[in-house]
Amino acid sequence: MVQYLVILLDDTSVSYCHCNNPYKEHRLISLDDLRNGILYAMKENLMIQFVYPDYDLPEEYKEKIESIDHHNIVSSLYFDKLMFEESDVVVFQDWSSVSNYDFEPGKAYVIKTTKTDLFDRYCSLKEILGKVDRLNVVITDVEKFTDGDFESYKKVLSELSAEIEKLYVAGKSPQLNLLTDRMMLSEMNNCGAGETNITLAPNGKFYVCPAFYYENEADSVGDLDKGLDIKNKQLYRLDHAPICRHCDAWQCKRCIWLNRKTTLEVNTPSHEQCVIAHLERNASRELLNSIRKHGTFLPEQDEIEKIDYLDPFDKRADWQ
Ligand code: SF4
């Protein structure tokens, strides 16, 4: 069931996920489409997430936005101080402004990175973890991971785990999507594109997620006049994902767009996506066990089992 409506306010709205936004020219959603999008969300009882470009919106847009309960996703380059204070999620498109940034608690931060940049610069995350409540690291070239990269990623996760362990022992509990989400989950928590959330683009049409809009404007799944029309919508659900439904890497985003890009099927992940998610899962297991050894309080959590595989597809014989 759809619960969230993402509204891209402009073609240049910040991209917060695995895809990059190719649009360079401003195209603001029309005031009518914004009004009707908000009305649609009210009728369907959806929580709205507005995604901002990095320029100041006209006053009438701000007034309309303020008329409904919502969350704001902004770029780290956003310059409107008032708006920035009201943001819930701040997105860094790369590492260029990360080191001098004034991170503060109470917001979620997203750092988008290539694998190479992550391997070179992850040490700076240690300091940030001490300042924020939540940090999401989003890798933008998952499909390019090699066996050597998996080893490098394992090392990155291990070093970040050591830092998080220290912080927990010191009484803090920062969240890092790569390591702490799996510790806290008891079931799958995927991105939900096409199932629990849907995107309204500046052209007034619905898309499975922003990436589907960026990739091909003709890929819409309905519009504000005719409503939502998702073909084969069961394919976006976990129970129709033949590999993922057997998996316990519950923190995995199970990115529908990446699935389609890499395997041409929205419900089938690539080997790279699965191995990365399992390296995170296994590092979370070790982190959970280490934190417990200190007697540090953690909410009641089930053990994370030890497993002997990194890609669930390798265990398909066991699913029969
Ligand atoms: S690790 Fe692979 S199988 Fe498991 S949820 Fe993620 S994409 Fe699906």
Query: How remote is the CA of residue 214 from the centroid of ligand 1, in Å?
Result: 24
Residue 77: count other Cβ atoms within 10 Å of its Cβ: 15
- 299 band by pLDDT with thresholds 50, 70 and 90: low
For atom 5 of ligand 1, the residue with the nearest CA is: 244
The atom number, within ligand 1, closest to the CA of 276 reads 1
Q: What is the pLDDT of residue 168?
A: 93
Mean pLDDT of 67-93: 88
3-class DSSP state of 63: helix
| Residues 19-63 pLDDT 10s | 999 999 999 999 999 999 999 999 999 999 999 999 999 999 999
- 1 band by pLDDT with thresholds 50, 70 and 90: very high
**Radius of gyration (Cα) for the chain, nearest Å?**
20
- 138 band by pLDDT with thresholds 50, 70 and 90: very high
| Residues 140-181 pLDDT 10s | 999 999 999 999 999 999 999 999 999 999 999 999 999 999
For atom 8 of ligand 1, the residue with the nearest CA is: 244
Q: Provide the terminal-to-terminal Cα distance of the chain, rounded to the nearest Å.
A: 29
Query: How remote is the CA of residue 28 from the centroid of ligand 1, in Å?
Result: 36
The atom number, within ligand 1, closest to the CA of 252 reads 6
Distance CA 287, CA 178 (A): 11
- Predicted TM-score (pTM) above 0.85: yes
Core vs surface per residue 245-276: b (16+ CB within 10 A) or e? eebbbbbbbbbbbbbbbbeeebbbbbebbbbb
Q: For residue 119, is pLDDT > 80?
A: yes
- 298 band by pLDDT with thresholds 50, 70 and 90: low
Q: Which residues pair with 139 in a beta bridge?
A: 113
* Mutation to probe ligand 1, out of 185, 190, 252, 304 (largest number of atoms < 8 A from CB): 252
The atom number, within ligand 1, closest to the CA of 255 reads 7
- Average pLDDT value over all residues in the chain: 94
Q: What is the pLDDT of residue 271?
A: 97
- 316 band by pLDDT with thresholds 50, 70 and 90: confident
Amino acid identity at 92: F
- 315 band by pLDDT with thresholds 50, 70 and 90: confident
Between 9 and 82, whose confidence is greater? 9
Q: What is the pLDDT of residue 302?
A: 78
Query: How remote is the CA of residue 167 from the centroid of ligand 1, in Å?
Result: 29
Query: How remote is the CA of residue 250 from the centroid of ligand 1, in Å?
Result: 8
The atom number, within ligand 1, closest to the CA of 269 reads 7
Name residues contacting ligand 1 (CB within 6 A): 243-244, 247, 249, 252, 254, 269, 273-274, 277-278, 312
For atom 3 of ligand 1, the residue with the nearest CA is: 244
Q: For residue 5, is pLDDT > 80?
A: yes
Q: For residue 104, is pLDDT > 80?
A: yes
Core vs surface per residue 49-66: b (16+ CB within 10 A) or e? bbbbbbeebeeebeebbe
Least confidently predicted of 48-52, 195-199, 201-205, 291-295 = 291-295
Q: For residue 275, is pLDDT > 90?
A: yes
* For the chain, percent of residues with pLDDT exceeding 70: 97
Q: What is the pLDDT of residue 297?
A: 61
